[in-house]
Amino acid sequence: MSDIQDVTAEVPARRQLRTKPFSLADRLFYGITKSASSISVILVAAILLFLLSQSFATFQTQGFDFITGSQWNNAKGHEVFQIGPMLWGSVLISILGIIGGVPMAIAAAYFIEFMAPKPIAKVATVLVDLLAAMPSIVIGLWGLYVLTPVVAHWGSLLYGLHHVSMGPVNFDIPIFAMSDGSVPSTFSGSPFIAGWIVAVMIVPIITSVTREIFSQMDRDLINSALALGGSRSSVFMRVILPTASGGVTGGVLLGLGRALGETVAIFYVLNLVSDINWFNILQSKGGSVASLVLQKFGEGTPNEIKALMAAGLVLFVLTLLVNWLAAVIVNRAQPWRKI
């Protein structure tokens, strides 16, 4: 041993540290988990490669207009494949879904975590998770046969009331107007309805992520805010929500990843039109990349199918980006976990 005062003393050579598991059981476990995670990476890569190879031709013939243009024609010799309205439509209904779903999900998470007595909280959690397991075709049919008529009923009622009390509705507010100046009647097939369907579909995932974040919060942090004289609402707005915002944003983006790729449910309730609808959300005219694929795939011409593959690739990349962003935000923004 060297003298503790001697700062120039030699240090012994570095030793090899074992970073892999030692026992057979641990190695086996390590192997299984490692291969499982590799399989998912390989699958994603394989899908990406497949889509790339299939869509190459389309990108070559259509160029960048594939993403920005708004025509679709599969007649031989006049083939044009452009998904602008569908891509924007996917984004628009996702935004609407978030506007409708996020407050609902956060409120549900708050109720379950901070207000409900234990048994009720358990039941509510199970019900919300059940909603996540609901096949999307069921939600689509619900949208078509239940939500759409209800919305139409309330829509005409409200317009009628407005007409009686204040005269004809003034459609100067762009998002409530029709691109052709007509008066909206039923809202069926509109991005508004599709947005609510998306909201229903993303509420469970956002609720469960938010609930998880809320449950990890230091109770004494919340108690200190209450002890300072805060009310439930001010404590929520100034302490709980800001502290949880990173995680909640991540949950929202995870939900968005699902919303963007949502196919069947939207297909049922949205009137797909290959003409861009920027923000007339009550008009029976919208787009969704995933629903476009569903609509055209069955009887597509060979080139059209390649174009649909390309559309799938665009959607895939978009979803991947959103999920990646979600992961980054969730990992970074949890300062209270440091301790």
Partner 1 sequence: MENIATSASHLRSEDVNVWFGERHVLKNVSLNFPSNQVTALIGPSGCGKSTFLRTLNRMHELIPSAGFAGKVLLDGHDIYDHDVDPVDVRLNIGMVFQKPNPFPTMSIRENVLSGLKLTGRRGYNAAELVETSLRRASIWNEVKDRLNDPALSLSGGQQQRLCIARSLAMDPEVLLMDEPCSALDPGSTRRIEETITELSDSMTIVIVTHNMQQAQRVSHQTAFFLAEDGNPGRVVEFGKTDDVFNSPIDPRTNDYVNGHFG
Question: Where does this chain bind partner 1 (CB under 8 A)?
Answer: 117-118, 218, 220-221, 223-231, 234-235, 238-239, 242-243, 245, 335-336, 338
Smallest separation, CB 255 to partner 1 (Å)? 23
Nearest distance in Å: CB 325, partner 1: 20
Tokens of 255: 């939900």
Q: How far apart are CA 57 and CA 223, in angstroms?
A: 61
Task: Please say which residue, 298 or 335, places its beta carbon nearer to partner 1.
Answer: 335
Distance CA 232, CA 215 (A): 16
Q: Give the nearest distance from C-beta 126 to partner 1 in angstroms.
A: 20
3 state SS of 9: coil
CA angle 142/148/151 to nearest 5° reads 130
| Nearest residue (CB) to partner 1, 240 versus 308 | 240
Q: How far is the CB of 319 from partner 1 (least distance, A)?
A: 30
Task: Identify which of residues 225 and 254 has a Cβ nearer to partner 1 in the complex.
Answer: 225
Q: How far apart are CA 85 and CA 96, in angstroms?
A: 16
Q: SS3 string of 58-99?
A: HHHHHCCHHHHCCCEECCCCCCEECCHHHHHHHHHHHHHHHH
Q: Please, what is the end-to-end C-alpha distance for the chain in angstroms?
A: 37
For 233, other C-beta atoms within 10 Å of its C-beta total 8
How wide is the angle at C-alpha 248 spanned by C-alphas 44 and 277, nearest 5°?
70
Q: Which is nearer to partner 1, 50 or 336 (CB)?
A: 336
Q: State how far the Cα of 197 lies from the Cα of 48, in Å rounded to an integer.
A: 28
> Is-contact 210 223, C-beta < 8 A?
no
Q: In the bound complex, what is the minimum distance in angstroms from residue 106's beta carbon to partner 1? A: 16
> Residue 244 CB, nearest distance to partner 1 (Å)?
9
- Closest CB to partner 1 among 174 and 242? 242
Q: How far is the CB of 234 from partner 1 (least distance, A)?
A: 5
73 bridge partner residues = 80
Tell me whether residue 244 or residue 276 sits nearer to partner 1 (CB atom).
Answer: 244
- Minimum distance between the CB of residue 215 and partner 1, rounded to whole angstroms? 15
Q: Smaller CB distance to partner 1: residue 132 or 333?
A: 333
| Range 53-65 burial, b when 16+ CB lie within 10 A, else e | ebbeebbeebeee
CB of 117 to partner 1, least distance (A): 6
CA distances to 160, 207, 260, 317 from 324, in Å: 46, 20, 14, 10
| Nearest residue (CB) to partner 1, 158 versus 237 | 237
Nearer to partner 1, 185 or 215 (CB): 215
Asked if residues 193 and 270 have their Cβ atoms less than 8 Å apart, the reply is yes
Match 């809320």 to its residue by tokens. 214
